Amino acid sequence: MGNSLNLSPLGWTVLICLGIFIIILNLSLIVVIRKKTINPPRIIQQDTGKYLRNPWHNEDAQWQKLSQQVAQWKEEKPANKSDSDPDRPAE
């Protein structure tokens, strides 16, 4: 095996910077794990039960509103029937 540590100054600089980066990254992760300050926001905790019980509440409400509008439209349609009824035979 030859002289494998024969690197240019730029190579040494890159290796040193990479080593420092990895050490800092690991130390920051250790600090975060020790503090354990990562908590979910309070709002999410309050609404979690509601969403787990009925995950499609908003969508169901919109469908219900649409259904009511269609039912109302169907009730109004026979009262507003005019002579332009396509099922009516021509005179």
For residue range 18-65, list pLDDT tens digits in order.
999 999 999 999 988 888 755 666 666 677 777 788 888 889 999 999
Kindly state whether residues 17 and 32 are assigned to the same domain: yes
- Domain span holding position 35: 10-39
pLDDT in the model for residue 63:
94
Q: Kindly state whether residues 52 and 31 are assigned to the same domain.
A: no
DSSP string across the chain: ---TT---HHHHHHHHHHHHHHHHHHHHHHHHHHH------HHHHHHHHHHHH-TTHHHHHHHHHHHHHHHHHHHHHHHT--TT-TTSPP-
Number of domains in the chain: 2
Residue 91 has pLDDT above 60, yes or no: no
Residue 67 located in a structural domain? yes
Predicted structure pTM score:
0.37
Is residue 69 one of the residues assigned to a domain? yes
| 30 and 53 inside one domain | no
Q: Domain check: are 68 and 49 in the same one?
A: yes
Query: Is residue 88 assigned to a domain?
Result: no
